[in-house]
Structure 1
Amino acid sequence: MTPHARGILLLVLVTALWGSTFAVVKELGEQLPPSVLIAWRFTLATVVLLPVLAVMARKAPTRSIPATGGFAGWKEGLARDGLILGAWLIAGYGTQTVALQTTSANRAAFFTALSVVLVPVWLTFAQRRRMPLSLWVALPLAVFGLGLLSWEGGALVVGDAWALACAVTYAGFIVALEGTATRHHPLQFTFAQVLVVTVLAWIWAGLSAPGQLWPPESAWAPLLYLGVLATAVTTLLQTIGQRTVSAAEASLIYALEPVTATFFSFLLIQEKVGLRGAAGGLLVVVATVLSQRTQPHPQPELPAPQGLDPGTPETNAAAASQRSRA
């Protein structure tokens, strides 16, 4: 198997794992408050990533330190950027987890996909540029598709509003990360964000659910799945896979996440999508793909994969539409 083919398979696997989390989080939300769920998920991810980070630091201890500013400046910048991005991340995870308490997993997944469309819109207005034709087409398609999804089987529910808030906050995360992604080593920067989410989630849990901090026995298996496989392992697999996959290919693969979410929602919790919902979901996927054609490369959303220089096409592939995990 060629490295390129292996990279595509890894990213397909990552997308499938991401899609499965919506159903898992929805079921787990019946046993744990959102804050406690997020706190334990990211605690487990931190524990798994810490030894990997230590091993990589021993192999290349100075690769991620900029040529100017020295170690102290690098450390200070990493902490500052990790705090900012971690705050955006917990806002995305928090709104999405709350959304799944009242809306269906597949609807939440397609709502979350709207963040990919919102990013170029946000940047177009922030940078005072003319909005490309493809974006003029993508935006109403996404809105119409979400309307079909939301109205299938009943009126709008409060969870739909929370899912929309997730799309907005995660778009904010993407825009914020655009200016910081190339400043730091990818794994170290990812770990900093995961650690910040862990700390903020425990503060949230301590304030909102002080008597429910320890999960019941039945919650540990899905928590381990979310923390280890769907957070820590997917981070590493994505870093490996995107070394050999172009930005355009990665964008198309990641656009399939709500489709995989719908599949797993049916398989795991028997959620069904009717004809109107399927049509709406298809429109959201098409809008997502169209929105990625608004510029030569997708906006950076992740730190560049290890070993790649910022600004190259391969590096830009690392930024191609990673969704906020449920």
Structure 2
Amino acid sequence: MLIIVSALILGTIPAAIKEAITSLSPATQFAIRFTIGAMILTPFVRNLNVSLVRDGVILGVLLFPVFAAATIGLETVCANQASFIFGLNMVFVTLFELLFRKRLSIRAILAVILAFTGIGVMSWKSGQLAIGNFWLLGSALSDAAYIIVLEVFSSHHLPVPLVTIQLWVVALLGILWAAPELTEHIEAIQTSLGVLIYLGVVATVIVILLQTVAQQWISAHEVALFFALEPVFGAIFAFLLLGETFETRGFIGAAMVLVGIILTLTRPKIDESDLEPTQVQESTVSDGTAKTGEVLVGVLSPNKEIENLF
């Protein structure tokens, strides 16, 4: 349920960012958004330790390109199309899992071909592919890596401190990115404060916190399954908030992307006994990093107390 709510909110982000960057540069909007989010959570942080800070910094560095690339991409790509391209993060999650197991099925290859062809069909205009699509693909790829790493780290730390450290890392990187132009947008920041607060609180703090809590219980692949709803929500909100609709080409491309995502997420379950012995060995534990087996137990354990977020 937490992931479904997160996917629903994620669907509003492209439309909200499109609204914000009409008056603000991508860098300024990005920096303000994550600074707001980090400041809101900071008063609730306590019990910091070295492993928590380390893991939070790693996740923050992975999270920065997810949202930075998406923000840049939305300058030249419409919100409904962006939602479907970003939905490829689910395809990338599965590809990473398959590649790590050294098994790439025909189904996975077909899914990737369909999804990327669909993006081309949606995006190809006047004989050229908008550069924003490549930024959004980079965002989706980064998000897949983030989801996989979060599956490991989320089971070892309380959600609020872990998310807060991530947000401060992203906010500081965003401020460095926006520094040359921040002072030029003071008035625009004031006029766009409503959408910036929404992006900072709802689309950042709540989304990432919900995902972090959920990934204490479910695997990266299960997250991918639920996040497949995001492109649908994104297209709906793009229509309701911005009046964006697909042309015939867009509907065909979106359908191809959805089929690619569905093919990826409904792949046959891999039997661990089919893997090579070296692929199922547990890794060692060092300074807060769990063995592979412990991570899976932590994700599936019904006794985990998620009520204690702080």
Q: Same fold by TM (over 0.5)?
A: yes
Give the CA deviation at 1:260: 1.1
Matched with 1:39 is 31
Matched with 1:218 is 191
Give the CA deviation at 1:168: 2.4
Matched with 1:256 is 229
* Native 8 Å contact 1:85 1:173 kept in 2: yes
What is the TM-score with the length of structure 1 in the denominator?
Answer: 0.74
Matched with 1:229 is 202
Q: State the distance in 1 between where 2:301 and 2:132 align.
A: 33
Q: State the distance in 2 between where 1:222 and 1:76 align.
A: 35
1:143-194 superposed Cα distances (whole Å, 9 cap, x missing partner): 1221221136874212112112212222333344455343323332222211
2:184 is paired with a residue of what secondary structure? coil
Matched with 1:91 is 65
Matched with 1:195 is 168
Q: Which amino acid aligns with 1:84?
A: I
Give the CA deviation at 1:86: 1.0
Matched with 1:130 is 103
The 5 Å alignment of 1:2-17 reads 7=1, 11-17=3-9
Q: Which amino acid aligns with 2:21?
A: G
- Paired positions, count: 278
Q: State the distance in 1 between where 2:102 and 2:215 align.
A: 29
Q: State the distance in 2 between where 1:238 and 1:290 align.
A: 23
Give the CA deviation at 1:221: 0.5
Q: State the distance in 2 between where 1:219 and 1:201 align.
A: 18
Q: State the distance in 1 between where 2:122 and 2:241 align.
A: 20
Give the CA deviation at 1:33: 1.6
Q: Which moved more, 1:94-103 or 1:280-289?
A: 280-289
The correspondence for 1:105, drawn from 72, 79, 99, is 79
Q: State the distance in 2 between where 1:175 and 1:244 align.
A: 13
The correspondence for 1:273, drawn from 217, 226, 246, is 246
Give the CA deviation at 1:235: 3.7
Q: State the distance in 2 between where 1:24 and 1:316 align.
A: 37
**Aligned in 2, Cα 1:243/1:88: closer, same or farther, shift over 3 Å?**
closer
1:311 is paired with a residue of what secondary structure? helix
2:244 is paired with a residue of what secondary structure? coil
1:266-298 superposed Cα distances (whole Å, 9 cap, x missing partner): 11111111233123212222322332345759x
2:129 is paired with a residue of what secondary structure? coil
What is the TM-score with the length of structure 2 in the denominator?
Answer: 0.77
* Native 8 Å contact 1:115 1:171 kept in 2: yes
Q: Which amino acid aligns with 2:241?
A: L
**Aligned in 2, Cα 1:196/1:106: closer, same or farther, shift over 3 Å?**
same
**Aligned in 2, Cα 1:77/1:243: closer, same or farther, shift over 3 Å?**
closer
1:271 is paired with a residue of what secondary structure? coil
* Native 8 Å contact 1:152 1:277 kept in 2: no
Give the CA deviation at 1:201: 0.9
Matched with 1:18 is 10
Q: State the distance in 2 between where 1:316 and 1:143 align.
A: 37
Q: State the distance in 2 between where 1:161 and 1:174 align.
A: 20
Q: Which amino acid aligns with 2:206?
A: V
Q: State the distance in 2 between where 1:229 and 1:28 align.
A: 15
Unaligned runs of 5+ in 2: 271-293, 303-310
Percent identity over the alignment is 32
Unaligned runs of 5+ in 1: 1-6, 62-73, 298-308, 318-326
